[in-house]
Structure 1
Amino acid sequence: MRKRSLIRRLGESAWGLLLLTRVVVVAALAVLVLAAGAWVSWSSGRDAVASGLERGTMTVTACGASSCSGPFAPSGPQPPLARVSVDRLVTRGTGQRFPVVVEPGTAKVVRTGPAGVLFALRPLAGALLLAALVVGFGLRMRRTAWLSGLAGVLLVAVPFALG
């Protein structure tokens, strides 16, 4: 058996290092996308699961282009608020009533309960969908990509079903 030349062995080692670098960079990108989605989900949804905030129910009376508004009836001894606003995506329209928590120092409310938590996870759902593309095409892990994409689609669809 003939020994390969030094140049050929170095070339093979460099090619292997290049392939390893590609895998590490793409995996780091997928982790970064997922971490960013989790961070944004937590920052937008921590009020939905936090305790010690003013809780109650909101009845939607009017909707605009990006938000809906209505009166807030607290569940504790706090005074009711005549007008609070909530993101339009978490409502189905006027007349709907659902549990909310008031963001401290504002007249904005965040939906609570299972639907509120799932609505807060929308950025994570988008990150899962994007990470599915990165994992599928960059790492060529197709089954993992399909599972990640399916989880993202479910996290997008279920809150709207719970309404």
Structure 2
Amino acid sequence: MPFAVSSSQGTVAALRFGRLVAMGSVAALIMIAGVWGSWGTAQYVMLTKGRERGTIEVTRCGPDTCSGPFTPLSAGARARGGVVIDRTVTVERGKTYAVVVKPGSDVVVRSGPAGILYAWVPLGGALLLASVVVAGGLRLVRAAWVLAGAGAVLLAAAFAML
């Protein structure tokens, strides 16, 4: 019978290790997806050297996008009669926003602190989602609270800035 007890303990340890690996992989995948989703916009907002920076005065809005003339503020930027910005809750017709032009297009993204925080909103959501996996799957409650707090602060700051 001594073999049955150690075999049972070995099985429990193997299952526990498998759970840690699986849930750790899921949490890591969620975080990677959050960074990946954010970086698509954040790279233009955070790495502005050599990019066209300026302002857009929103003159027309459709269901998904708004447009208006682009006024350059950086060296090498050229004025454009019409650029497109994603329509979000805060983009309103008649207002002017600081923007960065995506290279090779007439699409712009918000710049400055508000643009940076808005670009990282997908990461904030990923932090909140990963906190649930870390708490439930990995049973690391304190780490989960840290992740959830960071996600909530990021989302709240983005909401306050916009």
Instruction: Give your verdict on TM over 0.5.
Output: yes
C-alpha distance after superposition, 1:1-29 (max 9, x if no partner): xxx51122111111111112211221121
1:90–1:119: 8 Å Cα contact kept in structure 2? no
Partner of 1:6: 3
Structure-to-structure mapping, 1:65-80, within 5 angstroms: 65-75=63-73, 76=75, 78-80=77-79
Partner of 2:44: 47
Partner of 1:88: 87
In structure 2, how many angstroms separate the alpha carbons of the residues matched to 1:112 and 1:72? Answer: 14
Partner of 1:58: 56
In structure 2, how many angstroms separate the alpha carbons of the residues matched to 1:130 and 1:71? Answer: 39
Question: What amino acid does structure 2 have at the position aligned with 1:67?
Answer: T
Question: What amino acid does structure 2 have at the position aligned with 1:123?
Answer: P
Percent of paired sites with the same residue: 42
TM-score of the superposition, structure 1-length normalised?
0.89
Partner of 1:24: 21
In structure 2, how many angstroms separate the alpha carbons of the residues matched to 1:69 and 1:77? Answer: 22
Going from structure 1 to structure 2, the CA distance change for 1:90 and 1:111 (only over 3 Å counts) comes to: farther
Give the Å deviation of 1:120.
0.8
2:30–2:129: 8 Å Cα contact kept in structure 1? yes
* Larger-gyration structure (1/2): 1
Question: What amino acid does structure 1 have at the position aligned with 2:45?
Answer: A
Gaps of 5+ in 2: none
In structure 2, how many angstroms separate the alpha carbons of the residues matched to 1:79 and 1:132? Answer: 44
Give the Å deviation of 1:77.
5.1
Going from structure 1 to structure 2, the CA distance change for 1:67 and 1:104 (only over 3 Å counts) comes to: same
Gaps of 5+ in 1: none
Q: Stretches of 4+ moved more than 4 A in 1?
A: none
In structure 1, how many angstroms separate the alpha carbons of the residues matched to 2:160 and 2:67? Answer: 21
Give the Å deviation of 1:40.
2.0
2:58–2:93: 8 Å Cα contact kept in structure 1? yes
Going from structure 1 to structure 2, the CA distance change for 1:9 and 1:43 (only over 3 Å counts) comes to: same
